[in-house]
A and B are shown apart, each in its own frame.
Chain A
Amino acid sequence: GPKVLQIPSHQIIDMGQMVTLNCDPVSNHLYFYWYKQILGQQMEFLVNFYNGKVMEKSKLFKDQFSVERPDGSYFTLKIQPTALEDSAVYFCASSGTGSSAETLYFGSGTRLTVL
């Protein structure tokens, strides 16, 4: 089926540093998402993105977070500066339009460890 790729699979950084998580969504998808999962717990919505803009974000999407998809390349999540509580697995997802808009396809996640 459709594949969402996330790069890197693991990232270890020091607190206060900047990190960028990259997502290569399904090629014809137009909606993009980031979810956060701590220690195998519930998937928590961070943000969704369409047509170059953030559509909706949750309270977990702190001011230190930003997303963009420059020139149709990777959909990125940037955290600057990072904090210890940002340690989690971040999942990117994408979905199409019309009748397929509601079905999200997920990547394998990026495990972020903030020391």
Chain B
Amino acid sequence: AQSVTQPDARVTVSEGASLQLRCKYSYSATPYLFWYVQYPRQGLQLLLKYYSGDPVVQGVNSFEAEFSKSNSSFHLQKASVHWSDSAVYFCALSMISNNRIFFGDGTQLVVKP
């Protein structure tokens, strides 16, 4: 069965520091993988997505993610975070066979000034 695991419920970093939010997936084939961000009282916004090609994908606001088939991971990274990056980040997986998307539990990112 397919699933997405975000092992960190909450991550706190200082402004200007680097960031990695972890995501592991379980799926027998290569899935579509996504990172979405949810700001307070808003819907999810797509940060980036991956299906094939270069395992490092660039997204909005200088976020990037690296796909690793051997580790079944799709970690989100940013070199220098800003206080406005504070939000909940969801990793998600979609199967090719249908349009159903599975979300992880989300990671709350808190950026300290």
Q: Could you tell me if B43 and A91 are in contact, using CB atoms closer than 8 angstroms? A: yes
**Provided the pairs A41-B105, A43-B90 are in contact, do residues A105 and B46 lie with their beta carbons within 8 angstroms?**
yes
Q: How many whole Å from A33's CB to the nearest CB in chain B?
A: 8
Say what secondary structure dominates the interface of chain B: strand
Residues from chain B with a CB closer than 8 A to the CB of A14 are none
Residues from chain A with a CB closer than 8 A to the CB of B90 are 43
Q: Any chain B CB within 8 A of the CB of A22?
A: no
- In the A-B complex, list the 7 residue pairs whose CB atoms are closest, starting with the nearest: A106-B43, A106-B44, A102-B32, A108-B43, A43-B103, A102-B94, A42-B105
Number of interface residues of A (CB under 8 A): 27
Count of A-B residue pairs with CB < 8 Å: 61
Q: How large is the interface on B (under 10, 10 to 19, 20 to 34, 35 or more residues)?
A: 20 to 34
Residues of B within 8 A of A (CB): 32, 34, 36, 41-46, 49, 51, 88, 90, 94, 96, 98-106
Residues from chain A with a CB closer than 8 A to the CB of B51 are 102
B101 touches which of A6, A41, A104 (Cβ 8 Å): A104
B99 touches which of A101, A106, A107 (Cβ 8 Å): A101
